[in-house]
Amino acid sequence: MECTAARIGDLPHNPRMGVTLETVDGRVAMRGAGDAPGSGVSIDLGAIDVRALGGHPLVRAVGKGPGPVIDATAGLGGDAWILAASGRSVVAIERHPHIHALLDDALARARATPTLAHVAARITLLHADARRALTDAAQGAWSILVDPMFPPKAKSALAPRDIRLVKEAVGEDPDAADLLVAALATAAPRIIVKRPHEAPPLGSVPHHVIESRLVRYDIYDRPHLMPKP
Ligand SMILES: C[S@@+](CC[C@H](N)C(=O)[O-])C[C@H]1O[C@@H](n2cnc3c(N)ncnc32)[C@H](O)[C@@H]1O
């Protein structure tokens, strides 16, 4: 399946289209400009390790407040899946048409798999630019996760192929700071930004930080918006 540009809303954002969608073994898959036809990568949500999630840094960063979690940068759905497997309702927002199509297909397959269906049922996927969609999507939400593409490193180990493909499709999310501003403009009591250890905060100094082996979670709490006990 070849995809052409899709309508993604009226905010300026130009998805790169060097990547191609295709069907591999009945799954929607994505391959890079130089990759052979049939070698595309699809998402396998069932392969994500969801054991011992209580101590998972992302689950701890999101916390236990009531209401759904908005994953404003759904990508390949790994974070949304972990949060849903931990019991949260998740609204996942992705603006790139190809990446949205990959995740939509993976969620449909998960909904049709008895061992995964209960987790998939907790995720609602939207194809939108979260800078605009948050106004409605975040109503009644407890928290918003913002995980834009990481800034390029001077030196980096070769990333796994799926991450390289997302980079090829998306680029660098240069408007990530605007997304944080949009998240902070909602009434969600907690905003979480996932950052590489070496990167500065995307906005002001966060109120709390949770460090994991690979990333840092910058947490912005708004106590005046927290539900009264
Ligand atoms: C680093 S990836 C997210 C990875 C994701 N957390 C996961 O677990 O797979 C960033 C994704 O956010 C998407 N994105 C960036 N800004 C966005 C926005 N304003 N609205 C919706 N999606 C956005 C990009 O298209 C990209 O797919």
Q: How far apart are CA 70 and CA 60, in angstroms?
A: 15
Region of 34 on the Ramachandran plot (φ > 0 left; ψ -120 to 50 alpha; else beta): alpha
Neighbours of 105 (CB within 10 A): 18
Pairing verdict, β 123-127 and 27-31: unpaired
Domain-located, residue 1: no
Atom of ligand 1 nearest to the CA of 93: 21
- Say how far apart CA 184 and CA 5 lie, in whole Å: 30
Stated pTM of the model: 0.92
Quote the domain boundaries for residue 197: 52-152+173-225
Give the mutation target among 45, 49, 73 for probing the ligand 1 site: most ligand atoms within 8 A of CB: 73
25 belongs to a structural domain: no
Question: For residue 172, how far is its CA from the centre of ligand 1 (angstroms)?
Answer: 10
Asked, for residue 113, whether it belongs to a domain, the answer is yes
State in Å: Cα 74 to ligand 1 middle. 5
CATH of the domain at 205: 3.40.50.150
Q: Which of 75, 142, 123, 71 is nearest to 102 (CA)?
A: 75
Radius of gyration of the chain (CA): 17
Assess whether the C-beta atom of 103 lies below 6 angstroms from ligand 1: no
Distance CA 36, CA 192 (A): 38
| Residue 130 in contact with ligand 1 by CB distance below 6 A | yes
pLDDT digits (tens), the chain, 229 positions: 333 333 323 455 556 668 999 999 999 999 999 899 999 999 999 999 999 898 999 999 999 999 999 999 999 999 999 999 999 999 999 999 999 999 999 999 999 999 999 999 999 999 999 999 999 999 999 999 999 998 777 555 667 889 889 999 999 899 999 999 999 999 999 999 999 999 999 999 999 999 999 999 999 999 899 988 7
| Total domains present in the chain | 1
**4 within some domain:** no
In a domain, 98, yes or no: yes
Q: Is 179 in the pocket of ligand 1 (CB under 6 A)?
A: yes
In a domain, 33, yes or no: no
Q: Which two tokens stand for residue 23?
A: 């069907």
In a domain, 205, yes or no: yes
